[in-house]
Amino acid sequence: MGSLRAVYEDKQVGDRFEFGRYPQGGNGEEKPITWRVLRRDSDGLLVIAEMGLDAKPYHKRDCSITWSDCSLRRWLNDKFYKKAFNDQEQSLIKKTKLANNAGPSTEDNV
């Protein structure tokens, strides 16, 4: 795990690095995901993918629903998380606690 941790431990705001793999491009070939650092603090990095990786609705039905119950959150924390990151990478992703304005607080991987 030490060498994988080295991929990001020296990164600063604005830096890019590769972490995980996901189908990208017209042919759906799995490629490394390039991330950009938005924030660095004592807890770690806040990052965003350089490219849009998939297109999913906020929820599978048109209705009023909170983040804690929407299908996008379930997909991100389950299918996407498991497909994009191997076990070693998953061990480096810190769960993030989010206090929601509407609905209960959540803990998310992605």
Q: 84 φ, ψ to 5°? A: -80, -25
Of 5 and 57, the one with more pLDDT? 57
How much is the average pLDDT of 37-58?
92
Residue 3 has pLDDT above 70, yes or no: no
Domain spans, the chain: 1-53, 54-110
pLDDT at 14: 96
* Cα–Cα nearest to 81, from 22, 26, 25: 22
Single out the residue of 75, 66, 74, 72 nearest to residue 103, CA to CA: 66
Q: What is the pLDDT of residue 2?
A: 53
pLDDT over 60 at 1, yes or no: no
- pLDDT more than 90, % of the chain: 73
Measured CA to CA, the distance from residue 107 to residue 110 in angstroms comes to: 9
Res. 4: pLDDT tops 70 = no
29 has which bridge partners? Answer: 24
Digit-coded pLDDT (tens) for 62-96: 999 999 999 999 999 999 999 999 999 999 999 99
